[in-house]
Amino acid sequence: MFFIVGIGLGGVKDITVKGLEVVKSADEVYLENYTSILSVGKESLEEYYGRELKLADREFVEQGCEEMLEKGRNSDVVLLVVGDPFSATTHTDLVLRAKKAGVDTQVIHNASILNAVGCCGLQLYSFGETVSIPFWMDGWSPDSFYDKICHNKERGLHTLCLLDIKVKEPTPESLTKKKKDYLPPLFMSVSDAAEQLMEIVKKRSIETDQQLPVDGETNCVGLARVGSETQQIIYCSLNEMKHKNLGEPLHSLVIIGDLHPLEEEFLALYL
Amino acid sequence: MFFIVGIGLGGVKDITVKGLEVVKSADEVYLENYTSILSVGKESLEEYYGRELKLADREFVEQGCEEMLEKGRNSDVVLLVVGDPFSATTHTDLVLRAKKAGVDTQVIHNASILNAVGCCGLQLYSFGETVSIPFWMDGWSPDSFYDKICHNKERGLHTLCLLDIKVKEPTPESLTKKKKDYLPPLFMSVSDAAEQLMEIVKKRSIETDQQLPVDGETNCVGLARVGSETQQIIYCSLNEMKHKNLGEPLHSLVIIGDLHPLEEEFLALYL
């Protein structure tokens, strides 16, 4: 059996009881570590589970995972994933590949930022399409996510912005080489995200005479390390968010649509 | 401390290890049982947790819960909630009330249908606003959710439709009485939902000459008992969904927007 197990967001004990049983009894356990990270490291997980974990990085998941799936045919193989197993396209792809290869699969769900974001008091039913904000680099500065945020805003909906992470990215120089060198990991903070958004606002303001639906005065919520003991939430304008420091990753940003009185009252706790 | 603990979607072992520890050591444990239900009953949970659970129904949560929150001031009180604690407005309200009353609160997240719906292969980032489809009754037949579904569809986005449940609803005759009688519980099935949607389509077709964005030919996914061992998923048109029987509750319906090739391939497993 090939198991894909969500380990949630915060600490070692956020795995479900069912998930832990599977981890303890499996033949091999891999830990996916490039689409997200837990606030605790691999060593803490290994200590808590009482067993060794093999790291599954991007190269492994995207290229070398056939072997892992094949092992699932005759033994129990587990892939641990931060959040819920279906929170990244690459995991959905993996489940599909396993199913198509005729390997029995089992998915064990858990919380992910897509539902845990409710902890700030915003209603999950009032969110529109989720967007991802990528790091701009080397002249590559996409901004289509801004249009999606504006579209949600115009309909009164909130937007969850998932902030880029770069883990185990090869250096540009080593891209074509056999032996890769890697850049240090990079995690986008809420202030980075607010800054990029404000740059887009600045550019768009020049291009139009009309009032933009989302600008520096728009309110937003910054969230850091949701579900962990050091979780932090802050509520302010985008302009102000540029200067906030919420500390260690992971961060997420919500651009606010229309507020229900209950949401307003809840957010006031985070002013 | 007042704890609100998500118990996930499937069975007794879907609670997190952290959640289980809290349940085992708390002074009192309540089980909320009217915004959602687990595939297993209260007795199974009690047996697994090794302790008695008090039922918290709508009246209790909306009116009589001050006592529960007050107890949280000097002892450990737990409210168990199916899915994630923030999957219903009423729980957000409860957390807010506790915080404002100065009672320490802790939230323990879990999977909810809002992220677990990814199990059908549709990407969570391609969902628009979530809608709720209520049971029509006694001439009350709201249809604004249809417009939201159409709006998502026109933007190529999928729509998760949460289907109504009625648990411990007083009979109309006993509404004004002190001692209430209750109607039997009622859970909307994917075929009920498809039927209501098709009635709206019929009505709207008469009102307009234009092609509706969502009609009987639109594809959808029916999901039942997500996360449990008896989970079922089916992919067909809305017209066909009217005749499908996915068995026991809870059911959810997804109206499909534009499909990515990976999504298409995944859904083909559920034809």
Comparing A11-15, A172-176, A226-230, B216-220, which segment has the lowest mean pLDDT? A172-176
User: CA geometry: angle at A253 spanning A252 and A258, to 5°?
Assistant: 140
* Residue B14 touches chain A, beta carbons under 8 Å: yes
Sign of the CA dihedral with A175 first, then A180, A181, and A187 last? positive
Is the CB of residue A159 less than 8 Å away from at least one CB of chain B? no
The DSSP H or E segment spanning B116 is: helix B113-116
Most confident of B57-61, B66-70, B202-206, B207-211: B202-206
Please answer yes or no on whether B85 and A118 come within 8 Å at the CB atom.
yes
B114-270 maps to CATH 3.30.950.10: yes
Answer with the residue of higher pLDDT: A184 or A160.
Answer: A160
Across the interface, whether the CB atoms of A109 and B8 are under 8 A apart is answered yes
Q: How far is B92 from chain A (nearest CA, A)?
A: 6
pLDDT of residue A231: 96
Count of CB atoms situated within 10 Å of the CB of A47: 12
What SS3 state is found at A206?
helix
Q: In which residue are the tokens 């915060």 written?
A: A10
H or E element that contains B263: helix B261-267
Residues A79 and A62: their CA atoms lie apart, in Å, by 13
CB pairs under 8 A between A and B: 160
Among A14, A84, A125, select the one facing B115 at the smallest CB separation.
A84
B110, B86, B125: which is closest to B23 by C-alpha? B110
Query: What Rg, from alpha-carbon coordinates, does chain A have?
Result: 20
Q: Give pLDDT, residue B163.
A: 97
pLDDT at A118: 97
Is there a contact between B17 and A17 if contact means CB atoms under 8 Å apart? yes
- Is the Cβ pair A111, B84 closer than 8 Å? yes
* Minimal Cβ distance to B13: which of A16, A121, A265: A16
A151 touches chain B (CB under 8 A): yes
- Report d(CA A89, CA A100) in Å as an integer: 16
Question: What is the C-alpha radius of gyration for chain B, rounded to an integer number of angstroms?
Answer: 20
Residue A257 contacts B where some CB pair is shorter than 8 Å:
no
Contact B17 A15 (CB under 8 A): yes
Q: Which residues of B touch A267 (CB under 8 A)?
A: none
Whether residue B128 is predicted with pLDDT greater than 90 in this model: the reply is: yes
CA distance B124 to B202: 30
Measured CA to CA, the distance from residue B87 to residue A111 in angstroms comes to 11
Residue whose C-alpha is closest to residue B136's, from B183, B195, B185, B87: B195
Residues 6+ apart with CB under 8 A from B189: B163, B245, B246, B249, B251
Domain ranges of chain A: 2-111, 114-270
Q: Which of A14, A16, A120 to mutate to test the interface with B (most CBs of B within 10 A)?
A: A16
Contact at CB, B109 and A115, closer than 8 angstroms: yes
DSSP structural state of residue A216: T
A 63-92 → B contacts, CB under 8 A: 83-87, 89, 92
Cα-Cα-Cα-Cα dihedral sign, residues B37, B1, A84, B121: positive
If you ran DSSP here, which 8-state letter would residue A258 be given? S
Length of chain B: 271
Find, in chain B, the residue whose alpha carbon is nearest to that of A6.
B111
**One-letter amino acid identity for B186?**
L
**Is A265 within 8 Å of B96 when comparing Cβ atoms?**
yes
Residue B163, annotated as binding a ligand: yes
A9 at interface of B, judged by CB pairs closer than 8 A: yes
Is beta strand B219-224 parallel, antiparallel or unpaired with respect to B251-255? antiparallel
B38-45 — which CB contacts under 8 Å span 24+ positions?
Answer: B38/B7, B38/B9, B38/B10, B38/B11, B38/B82, B39/B9, B39/B10, B39/B11, B39/B225, B39/B228, B39/B230, B39/B248, B40/B11, B40/B12, B44/B11, B44/B12, B45/B7, B45/B12, B45/B80
Query: With an 8 Å Cβ cutoff, is A16 touching chain B?
Result: yes
Residues of chain A with C-beta less than 8 angstroms from the C-beta of B15 = 16-17
The average pLDDT across B122-135 equals 97
Which residues, in sequence order, are CB contacts of A18 under 8 Å at separation 6+? A108, B10, B11, B13, B14
Structure confidence at residue B61 (pLDDT): 80
Task: Give the pLDDT confidence score for residue B174 in this predicted structure.
Answer: 84
pLDDT for the residue numbered B253: 98
Which residues in chain B are closer than 8 Å to A93, comparing Cβ atoms? 262
Nearest-angstrom CA–CA distance, A240 and A112: 27
- Burial (CB < 10 A; 0-12, 13-18, 19+), residue B3, is buried
pLDDT at B170 over 90: no
pLDDT digits (tens, 9 = 90+) for A59-93: 888 776 888 999 999 999 999 999 999 988 889 99
Contacts A85 to B, Cβ<8 Å? 118
Given CA atoms B109, B112, B115, B121 in this order, what sign does their dihedral have?
positive
pLDDT exceeds 90 at position A111: yes
Q: Residue A229: exposed, middle, or buried by beta-carbon count in 10 A (0-12, 13-18, 19+)?
A: exposed
Torsions phi, psi of A102, nearest 5? 80, 20
Q: Which CATH class is domain A2-111?
A: alpha beta
Contacts of B270 in chain A (CB under 8 A): none
**A186 at the B interface (CB within 8 A)?**
no
